[in-house]
Structure 1
Amino acid sequence: MQRLETIKKLSEYGLVAVIRANSKEEGIKIVEAVKKGGIKALEITMTVPGALDIIKELSDIYKDDKEILIGAGTVLDPETARACILAGAKYIVSPSLNPETVKLCNRYRIAIMTGIMTVKEAVEALELGVEILKVFPGNAFGPSIISSFKGPLPQGNFMPTGGVNLDNVKDWIKAGAVAVGTGSDLTKGASTGNYDLVTETAAKFVEAVRTAR
């Protein structure tokens, strides 16, 4: 049930915060700022120093909060996926389609979103049981790619990541995206230590998704 509940919540929230940082401390601050702005699905990328420690710490902090979803991003292989799951990640996100990683997540009933760029990859992911397909990098195509995918694959749930910002997030949702992932445009305030700006931007993203729906 946990996997199904996670997928349901990700679809309901419609927004995943992609957390990249230069240190564990900065990562924690960004997470808190984003959460304060109303985003409940938090993806800690494996490019963040101490990413597994952050996932474990956050999973412990929010273990009784059924609304907050802590996930792991930039997961390239099954070994990393397993480590993230042990640390408490409720979902796994990968920039590409790795069948062995999908199989491992299926084995442990953990939701996984794999990166796809072609209809062939999308079909392969669906055949492996992937529920939400990550269109990455989204800025290589733009929102119209969602409706293009939806033509032959109306049953697919697509989540673009890469290039999603406040100016186009509504276009992505209206094009048929079940959710969007956003990182640099959301957390850019952190580069200057302005975490209030991160919170403010998060709130704007939440509202933009809500109104687009």
Structure 2
Amino acid sequence: MKKLKLVQQIVNEGVVAVLRGETPEEVVRMAEQAIAGGIKVIEVTMTVPFALKAIEELASRYSSSDPESDRYAIIGVGTALDPETARAAILSGAEFVVGPSLNPQTVVLCNRYRIPIMPGVMTIQEIQTALELGVDIVKLFPGNLYSPSMIKAIKGPMPQANVMPTGGVSLANIGEWVRAGAVAVGIGSDLTTEAVKTGNYALVAEKAAQYVAAYREAKANAN
């Protein structure tokens, strides 16, 4: 049941912060600010040096068990290319796994341990394969290669597909993605670029709050 609960929590939150940085300490700072700004789903990518240290630190400080707690957050891993990476991240505290592509062995591993897995897909064939493997949410990646109308096109033959665009989602177009049927969105460099450039990590919280507000407004108007 925990997997189903986590999937529902991710969908309820709707915005996933995809964090990359030079050090695990930097990513932890980004995550703290993103959570403070209202983004409660944090994806630490494995491109971060010693990424598992960041996941361990965040997983020890935040919990998905109580949405009313001020320590509520869902910590996951991104850029998981293979089942070995996914398993190491799960042992470090990751509660969901995201990959840039569809690796069937990674999906099998995550299903074995009842961990939500969101693989990257680009084609209808990949989406169908993901559904057949038991994937609950597919990540449309890179999202900047598509327009929001891609989701409607996918849902023509596959209305049961839950799609999360990542890459290319911005404050300017997040509403279009949500209205097109995205169940969640992944936000990457736009969330952190200015903070890294200036050294003012409070800017991450400000941008996070803007994304959460824009998502909720779009969601309300879409219903």
TM over 0.5, shorter chain: yes
Paired residue secondary structure (1:156): coil
1:195 aligns with 2:216: no
- The whole-number CA distance in structure 2 between the counterparts of 1:194 and 1:72 is 25
Q: How far has the Cα of 1:65 moved from its partner? A: 5.3
| Letter of the 1:200 counterpart | E
Give the distance between the partners of 1:194 and 1:142, measured in 2 at CA: 32
Q: Secondary structure at the match of 1:203?
A: helix
**Aligned residues of 1:24 and 1:48 also touching (Cα < 8 A):** yes
Q: Which amino acid aligns with 2:215?
A: V
Letter in 2 for 1:140: L
Unaligned runs of 5+ in 2: 68-72
1:31 counterpart residue number: 31
Inter-CA distance 50–92: structure 2 relative to 1 (3 Å threshold): same
Distance 1:64 1:151, change over 3 A: closer
Aligned length: 213
The corresponding residue for 2:211 is 205
The AA in structure 1 aligned to 2:209 is A
Amino acid at match of 2:206: E
- Matched-pair contact (CA < 8 Å) for 1:165–1:186: no
Q: Name the counterpart of 1:156.
A: 161
Per the TM alignment, residue 142 of structure 1 is displaced from its structure 2 partner at its CA by 1.7
Give the corresponding residue for 1:47: 47
Q: Which residue of 2 aligns with 1:143?
A: 148
Residues 1:12 and 1:102: Cα distance change in structure 2 (over 3 Å): same
Cα distance in 2 for partners of 1:59, 1:196 equals: 21
Q: Deviations over 1:154-201 (max 9, x none)?
A: 011000000111111111000000000011011112322121211111
1:86 aligns with 2:108: no
Runs of 4+ in 1 over 2 A off after TM superposition: 63-67
Please give the alpha-carbon distance, in whole angstroms, between the structure 2 residues aligned to 1:66 and 1:142: 36
Give the Å deviation of 1:57.
Answer: 1.1
SS at match of 2:182: coil
Taking structure 1 as the reference length, the TM-score comes to 0.98
Question: Which residue is 2:11 aligned to?
Answer: 11
Tell me which of 170, 174, 178 is aligned to 2:183: 178
- In structure 1, C-alpha distance between the alignment counterparts of 2:87 and 2:208, rounded to whole Å: 30
Match of residue 62 from structure 1: 62
AA partner of residue 136 (structure 2) = E
Q: 1:153 to 1:2 in 2, by over 3 A?
A: same
Q: Secondary structure at the match of 1:16?
A: strand
Range that drifts further, 194-203 or 176-185? 194-203
CA contact (8 A) 1:159 1:177 kept: yes
Q: Secondary structure at the match of 1:70?
A: strand
With normalisation by structure 2, the TM-score equals 0.93
Quote the Cα distance in structure 1 between the aligned partners of 2:64 and 2:106. 28
Aligned-residue CA RMSD (Å)? 1.0
**Are residues 1:108 and 2:108 paired?**
no
Alignment partner, residue 123 of structure 1 = 128
